[in-house]
Amino acid sequence: MVPFFIKYGPGAGMPGTCRRRECGDIQPAPLLTGPPPRFMSCGMEAPFWKTKKLEEMSRAEWESLCDGCGKCCMAKLEDADTGEIYWTSISCRLFDAGKCRCTDYQNRLERVPDCVGLTPDNVRTLPWLPATCAYRLIAEGKDLYWWHKLVSGSEETVHEAGISMHGRVSASEDDMPDAEAYFDFILAGEP
C-alpha cells in the first residue's frame, strides 16, 4: 500500500418533537420528494437548512452549518491502489485540539495548501466527508442531528454527544517525523 496524505477542512429525517427551543410542536416526517415546506406544522417558518439549497444559502448561513466537529481537520491516508480512506487521530498543524477548531480559519487556504475549502459542488463529490458532516447531510437531503448547534442552540452538544474530535486527537502533524509515522495512528474507522 502506498500512503497518500490528504487533509481537508472548511471548517435524521425522523418525525418527532420539534427541537427548536422556542417551539416543541410534533413535526411530521420530512418529504422525500418535492420542495420542502416553508412552514412547520406549528406555523413557525422552517429553518434555512430545511428550505434552501446549498447554493441558495448566504455566506453566514453556509458558515453556520459547520458543526465544529473537527473531523475534517484530521489527516487521512488513502490507499493509492484501492482509493480506500484511512482516518487518523493526527491533526492539521493549525488545529487547536483543546478548542477543537482551526486557529486561523480566515487564512487557512493560504497557510495550508492541502486544506480544501468546501463548496456546494465539492461537498456532493468529496468521498471523505464524514457521514455526520452537516454539509454532507444537507447535500444528501437529510436533516441535522439533535446535537447540531443550530438545532440544540449550544456549541457544546457536538462534543457532549461524542461526535467531535475533542479529546480524541493524538498529536499534530508537526509532531510526525515522516509519512510512515501516521500508520501508528490509524483509527478503526471514521471517527
In the range 1-60, which residues lie near ligand SF4 by CB under 6 A? 7, 9-11
Smallest distance, Å, CB 48 to ligand SF4?
16
Query: Is 151 a residue that touches ligand SF4 (CB under 6 A)?
Result: no
Smallest distance, Å, CB 143 to ligand SF4?
14
Query: Is 90 a residue that touches ligand SF4 (CB under 6 A)?
Result: no
Cα 142 from chain centroid (whole Å): 13
- Within 10 A of 154 (CB to CB), how many other CB atoms are there? 13
Q: How many residues does the chain have?
A: 191
Smallest distance, Å, CB 138 to ligand SF4?
10
What single DSSP character describes residue 39?
A: B
Pick from 48, 52, 130, 187: which binds ligand SF4 (CB under 6 A)?
Answer: 130
Query: Is 102 a residue that touches ligand SF4 (CB under 6 A)?
Result: yes
> Are 89 and 74 a contacting pair, CB within 8 Å?
yes
Q: Give dist(CA 148, CA 157) in Å, integer.
A: 7
Which uninterrupted H or E stretch holds 50? helix 48-51
Contacts with ligand SF4 by CB under 6 A lie at 7, 9-11, 66-73, 92, 94-95, 102, 108, 112, 115, 118, 130, 133-135
